[in-house]
Amino acid sequence: MSKIIFESGLELNCELVELERRYSHGADRECLVIHLKEWNNTDLKTFASTHLINGTITIKDNDNDYVYTNYEIFHELKYNGTEYVLIIAQLTAQEIKYNELLRRIEALEK
């Protein structure tokens, strides 16, 4: 069993995490496919706006930490009868550059 930790501090126990490419929100993206036994966050909009805003996810597996950045897009949450499958998509390179440009412009306006 692994633990997934969002930058917001939320920690979830997960059975399996897979890295896949999927078409999500108009682009081909890297996605984390997270298999969970339980889902306590019922409001998906609040979950996405609170825990995916910074895009950094750490997966603790045994004694190893794996850090994934720019995973800010909620793709899907489904229950297949035995487990929940949460899919979070990564920003594209163009979106990352665009967001950085916006941050620079905002800093200049202050």
C-alpha 101/C-alpha 75 separation (Å) is 25
What are the distances in angstroms from CA 95 to CA 15, 30, 34, 58, 67?
30, 13, 23, 21, 19
What are the distances in angstroms from CA 11 to CA 3, 28, 103, 104?
7, 27, 28, 31
CB 47 within 8 A of CB 74: yes
Q: Report DSSP state, residue 91.
A: P
CB 8 within 8 A of CB 53: yes
Which of the two residues, 40 and 98, has the higher pLDDT score? Answer: 98
Q: How confident is the model at residue 110 (pLDDT cuts 50, 70, 90)?
A: confident
Rounded (to 5) percent helix, strand, coil in the chain: 25, 50, 30
Please give the pLDDT value at position 101: 94
Give the tens place of pLDDT for each residue, 84-94: 999 999 999 99
